[in-house]
Structure 1
Amino acid sequence: MASHITHPQPRTLLPAKHDSQVTSKLDLLLEKLTQNYKEQNRLSQHQHEEASMYLPGGSTRSVLHFDPFPMTLASGHDCHVTSLDGKEYLDLVSEYSAALFGHSQPEILDAIRATLEQGINLGGPNQQEAELAKQLVDRFPSIEKVRFCNSGSEANTMALGTAMAYTGRKKILVFENGYHGAFTNFGDHPNPFNIPYDFVIAKYNDIEHTKSLLSPDLAAIILEPMLGGGGMIPATKEFLQFLRRAATDIGAVLIFDEIITSRLHIHGLQTHYNVYPDMTTLGKYLGGGFSFGAFGGNDEIMAMFNPGRGYFHSGTYNNNLFSMSAGVAAGKLLTEDKIAKANALGDRLRDGINEMAKKCVPEDDVALMKATGFGSQVGLHYAGDEQEKLENCVFFYMLDQAIYMGKRGFISINLVHEEHHVDMVIEAFRGLFEEL
């Protein structure tokens, strides 16, 4: 399942001689695009104003907010979403990688209908729960036993707690720009909602810096094999190999957060790199579009949850029939060929953006943007003194072209996307670069 990895260059500022020219174009373009957006989304504006009377910020997901107001979505089909104002968009957000199967996969819809007939909340173990667990154990080499929960945030929280209980230690090694959910977020700004654990923060992909922070009192080392929320920055194989050796040497539990990256290889990026953790956390698309989380690992660690061991893990919706049934259906749909196709589309899009970006600047200058990532996951990074303006211009220009991507430059190709969809996006970027 070949897919190439793009590592980022430093976000070097554009040379000063270009700043005034670029800034002027950005200001004019952004003003025009913002005005177009307001005119085309009057119902979304009204909806946002009304929702803000009851919801801080008008929503319960901060990542979805942008000024002047976020676009309200009314429906979705295949790889398209439709706004409240009735405009259809090519969906490159794919629910931040959770909508891997698009918005109307027949087999998943059938599973949901069957669940409605079967009963929604039964209050006991169910067959789908065991079937989904078998799928995951068969698929991911590092998982011999698995437990379910309701989100990736829960999965990572449970995995860290498990590692601390297993080792009897308290310190946890994490990495800059790592995002492991609402309660373990190590981005540019301090997160007041982080669990008050004893976190030690190292630099991602920096072996020497990480080595200086290793100690025998570490309970766990947790990281994404590719930073997701941190900008689609893949780990190097050497870095992961180093962490595997280090965790073994000091007796720490190595945890791979594959909530996003498990979609990039049928057996997860751990198999692509041939580096296997002690525990793996999962979520997003594996619930077939419903809330879902899972954490698993080797028999010895997961045996802590056997009855009588004193470790209690429960949750009313951990095995809810919607997530279990949709997850089973989704698992049956996922194949190596489908993943390879999505990865190839992502590679083509990433290469196309980078090629156009390089052509738009004189030799030896820094391109305005760079696309990074692996396979079907693409992240955009911006250079120059006006990074925020450039990010806004890209986002609103794509909306103007009926393309919906993540505001921060997040792009997720799903299994429903085809070559002509990528053609459409590349042409849109070509038009944007011509404007700039």
Structure 2
Amino acid sequence: MSDRYLSFVNSLWGRRLAQAVGLPQPLPLQRHRSGQPGLANPVIVAGAGRLTEHVHRLFSSTDTVAATAATVKAPSTVKVQGAVFDATHVADLQHLDELYTFFHANARRLGQHARVVVLGTAPEHCQDLPQAVAQRALEGLVRSLAKELRRAITVQLIYVAPGAEDALDSSLRFFLSRRSAYVSGQVIRLQKPVDSHITLHWDKPFAGRRALVTGASRGIGLAIAQVLARDGAHVVCVDVPQAQSALQQAADSVDGSALPLDITAPDAAALLQAHVSQYGAFDVVVHNAGITRDKTIAKMTETAWRSVLAVNLEAPLQLSQALLDNHGLNPGGRIVCVSSISGIAGNLGQSNYATSKAGVIGLVQGLAPRAAAQQVTVNAVAPGFIETQMTAKVPLLIREAGRRMNSLLQGGQPVDVAETIAWLAHPASGGVNSQVVRVCGQSLLGA
């Protein structure tokens, strides 16, 4: 679905008109394309925490140019495409002044589409109260910067637990790349990886791995299958038997396999386990299938209530439990669920949908510790307004509000959700567990 306003204000006459009357001027986002450089370049590295050396080692293994803020000799007018501030050393309120000094001096140096990451230590891992207070304060700074830097610049905060330093690479690579174009203002916690260290190729991290994606015949599900296949996975595409033709076409397009399956059927778990017994366990399971049956609760039928909860929540819960109980996931496996910002903030006329998507968050948080014992992580994405067939049916004014009510002033694309899921499912993302990541351009809804 095209965004005509976005196209208009980026034309010559549209840009002039928008500037003259003060209309919002969103920039078309730059998304990852095969063959493009992976990380933002050049990047300023600042701060004096325990992760600075690790960050420099990451950049030294890529083509990215990184320089410490203290040694940058270029004029302040020279643009950079990224900034990483290691704030893990911030131990009291006075230390917060260092972040003010750095961003005050360098905010204007950030070019369009730049990537900014602040690294911290989660308050629960701090040694005393002043440090915990100062580290928690970073969240307000990061979320404010994500709203005020504009120009399609994204800003994130990654809390890295002591001992989890080696788990940082996949998250830094994601947030400093174009893969995270529609993710901003997020706070991520990294723990010690649940699985052992592995050797992998960053270009094809899923090579030799099997992935299951539900609801894969179209939309976001198809985009997820395409991204995982692009990165080397054999994707088993799942959808209801009624969609078998579209499902087979989707599977063929990614050189994967089609598995027609009603995930709400009483024997769905048994049928899935039979597939595992025949073809082998999965390395990645993505619970993407979902439906809406929107009505205010006073007008909602019991069937509409139950069907939404059955597809969106009950099926992921039962299938995940069955896979874990029967060794359907290999060690180092990843379960990723699709929630929604509706499950975080609620939404008018979506009490059933919001209930199911909030339940998905509960599923992630409740299942993650148990799955970790099997060296499996469980995480979720919470999309905001994504340009799909479903949102195309939304009335025009509501659709426009959904597009503009975020820091990037536009809707996301299915690939934005898919790229975020690929990061959470990455073999090197074993330190990301029990997290819910919003893919919403920092939507004002529930912010």
TM-score with structure 1 setting the length? 0.32
Ranked by relative contact order (alpha carbons within 8 Å, sequence separation 6 or more), the top structure is 1
